[in-house]
Amino acid sequence: MPTYRTTTRVDNPLRVEHPVAPALQPRPFFMLSGLAADHRLFEEQIREFPHLRTPSWIRPRNGESLPEYADRFARWLNIQPGSIIGGYDFGSMVALEMARRPWIRDMIGGVVLVSGIRSRREVPGTLKLKAKLAGFVNDEKLRKKVVRHASRFCSNEPLSKKMRSRLVEMAERCDLEFLRWAMNESAGWRFSNPATELGDLPLLQIHGRQDRFVAPPAGSTVLVEGGHLIAMTHASVVNETIRRWAANL
């Protein structure tokens, strides 16, 4: 017979929450954004998953590597047992580095990658080149390049006017110091592959078949008829895929 739990809030002793079967309680769900992006990338996922958290990046310390950053960020997020952690683009690298830590891997429910990179062999050569160039240009020139890059995404993807504005706005307001660090760490990422690093931890990878930035990886991947921005352009498919996968964890 199922067990039900009723909780009473301390700050309001007269309010009693409705009983919820433990099996039906949503898992904590974290999604980490990509380069020159933030929580606005996941507006459709936030609308679909009320328990989703899309945290802002914390500032990296001087000389901090991506694995060190991921460990510190995970502790800052206070990830709970049974959580699902995921990421888009650069966020996929951070999510994988988090899951690589034994103290996280042994307690989370799984990892979700959307338009993600899952090994050093999949890091685009164009990203490595851009990381080098970013170190030689001033903030004004780098900002123009980032906005121009976002605008090109707009022309190649089936985005609504609102989505196009959102994408360019994120590029106009992104933290350039963090962007330089993230690009440099991405270019030199040493993660081998999920099978080696994560063992049998459940992993879902959703990728656009026409992704021009990160080539669709081999292996167990759910391919969507879209490009790099499927979290926005094909949100209903992405959301339903995540929902079905999470229900079987």
pLDDT at 159 over 90: no
Burial bucket for residue 88 (CB in 10 Å: 0-12, 13-18, 19+): buried
Q: Where are the beta strands (DSSP E) in 100-202?
A: 110-114
Q: How many helices and strands in the chain, by DSSP H and E?
A: 11, 6
Please report the pLDDT score of residue 124 as a whole number: 87
Please report the pLDDT score of residue 118 as a whole number: 92
Please report the pLDDT score of residue 25 as a whole number: 55
Q: How many residues does the chain have?
A: 249
- Write out pLDDT tens, residues 75-114: 999 999 999 999 999 999 999 999 999 999 999 999 999 9
Domains of the chain (ranges plus CATH)?
27-124+189-247 (3.40.50.1820)
- Write out pLDDT tens, residues 175-217: 999 999 999 999 999 999 999 999 999 999 999 999 988 999 8
Please report the pLDDT score of residue 132 as a whole number: 86
User: Rounded to whole angstroms, how far apart are CA atoms 234 and 159?
Assistant: 10
